[in-house]
Amino acid sequence: MGIIKTNDNFVHPEGKIQLLNGKVLDCYPLEQPKAKMDNELKLDVTGTYMSVGKPKPVAAPISDEQKKKRKRLFLNNAFLFFQHRDRIMSDSRMFLCPIPIQSGLAYTGTSGFQRPTLGVYLEWWLNCESATIGKKDDLQWLVYRIAGSPLSGSNRCGIVNSEGKTDSRSLSGSFASIWSSFMRINNRYDEAKSLYQAYTLEDVINIMGREGLTTVNLALINEAFRNNGWVLKHIFMRGNRYEKGNDVVTYYSGQFKLNGKNVSNEFIFDMLHIVIG
């Protein structure tokens, strides 16, 4: 199998982070820096992951209610974040926003996967072909959790669609390239996670809303269309298409259209009897 590289040991400019695309973002130091964690890939010594059977994806379940809420917030809006990735990847505090999802491998446990951020996920989805499922203009699933064996390649990874629905799937292709690429990107920003300020997911959603970036909950919208007799025909990376008789509604890049003409969110909400607020 050869040597699998999980850390590039990249040195960022002082007070900044440099993204994979070369873009440099100013950072905002924490008043009290966090302790730098050891996130290097190593064998698990607890025995929790020393199994060649079904892979154990996480070291412990999330019990904190706020973490559970933020995990669901991330999954419900994963496609929204991917749609507005340019905005998120222009602000280090958005980029470093922590995501409470823990991946893990047999034998090595959670090492290399600890404290992932919103920006880490965006760069991984952009740079690892197997991290997304579907065609470029018809993206169906995003991989959000990695679980499997680094030796056999057997895996069962968590995936999420534009409605926030989750499932698990054995990913095709080289499993080593899937988990090692996530680790390389995640480890690239380990020091930055300890030194610099980061927004919460709630902060990111609120900022996007204030800037007019759509925060339409597609899970709610899809349910409302179904309840009103519409059929969801296609799911795209940036929106969906609904049909009812001869009428067609599309939602793409934050814009609703009815039979090819732009209509406001409020028009659609009123048509579907959705009450906001």
Q: What is the pLDDT of residues 40-49, one digit of tens each?
A: 555 554 555 5
Is the model more confident about 120 or about 4? 120
pLDDT confidence of residue 36: 67
- pLDDT tens digit sequence for 47-71: 555 443 444 433 344 457 888 999 9
pLDDT exceeds cutoff 50 at 8: yes
CATH 3.30.920, the chain: domain bounds: 218-271
pLDDT confidence of residue 211: 82
Give the number of other CB atoms < 10 A from CB of residue 121: 26
Is the model more confident about 41 or about 33? 33
Mean pLDDT (whole number) for 182-201: 95
Mean pLDDT (whole number) for 28-48: 67
pLDDT confidence of residue 235: 61
In the chain, alpha helices (H): 65-76, 78-83, 85-88, 92-95, 118-127, 175-188, 190-195, 201-210, 218-227, 265-271
For the domain made up of 218-271, the CATH class stated in words is alpha beta
- pLDDT tens digit sequence for 204-224: 998 988 887 765 666 678 888
The answer to whether 108 and 42 are in contact (CB under 8 A) is: yes
% pLDDT > 70, the chain: 80
pLDDT confidence of residue 83: 85
Mean pLDDT for all residues in the chain:
84
pLDDT confidence of residue 260: 93
- pLDDT tens digit sequence for 232-250: 876 655 568 899 999 999 9
The answer to whether 126 and 145 are in contact (CB under 8 A) is: no
Ramachandran category for residue 93: left, alpha or beta (phi over 0 → left; psi -120 to 50 → alpha): alpha
Find, among 82, 220, 234, 78, the residue nearest to 249 by Cα: 234
Among 2-11, 34-43, 95-104, 148-157, name the one with the lowest average pLDDT: 34-43
% pLDDT > 90, the chain: 55
